[in-house]
Amino acid sequence: MTDLTYWTSVESPLGPLLLTAGPDSALTSVSVPAQKGGRTVQDDWRHDRGPFRAAEEQLAAYFAAELKEFRLPLRTDGTEFRERVWAALDSVPYGATTTYGEIAAQVGASRMAVRAVGGAIGANPLLIVRPCHRVIGADGSLTGYAGGLESKVRLLTLEGSLQEPFQAPAARIGDRRG
C-alpha cells in the first residue's frame, strides 16, 4: 500500500528530533518537539537507527558548530511549487538570512505569491536540514517558524546570524551575510 517508513529520535539542543526515512534511506522529515504540522510516529512505522547514522552524525556536528552544510540523501513529496521553494532554501548559506520575497524571486514567483512562498516554507518537512529558519521578514523581523520562534532564535544564534539577547517579537536581524 504505502512505502515503509523508518523512524528514530535524536537528541538535540532543541529537544528530541523525530527523523523519518523511506526504504531507500533518504531522509523524508526532521521534526522538532511541538512542531506545527510536525510528524508523529505511526503504528506501521519501523523504529531503526540504521538508516539515520549519517543524519545523526551530521546533526551532532551542526549543533557543535562544526558543520555548515548537510550532505544527506533527501526525499520530499510536495507540489511542484513547494519543491521549487524547498530547493531554494538549500541555497541560503550557513550564517546568512534571506527574505520571503527573495525566495519568491528565486523561484520565479510574483510579488503577490509571497504568501504562497511562506506557506510552502512553513510546510517544509526537513527542518534544520533544509534551512527554512534562515528566512526572515523583509523588515528584518523574525517571522513564524513551524518549530517555534524559540527554536528559530537558537538556530540563527548558533549560526551567528543573530546576536543574543533576543527581544521577541520585534527583534531585527542586521544585514544579510554571505
What residues does 141 pair with on adjacent strands?
Answer: 172
Strands 27-31 and 17-21: what pairing?
antiparallel
Pick from 151, 146, 30, 110: which is nearest to 100 by CA?
Answer: 110
- How many beta carbons lie within 10 A of that of residue 131, not counting itself? 24
Cβ partners under 8 Å of residue 87, min gap 6: none
Cβ–Cβ < 8 Å for 136, 99: yes
Whether 19 is catalytic is no
Of 88, 132, 136, 155, which residue is the catalytic one? 132
Active site positions, annotated = 132
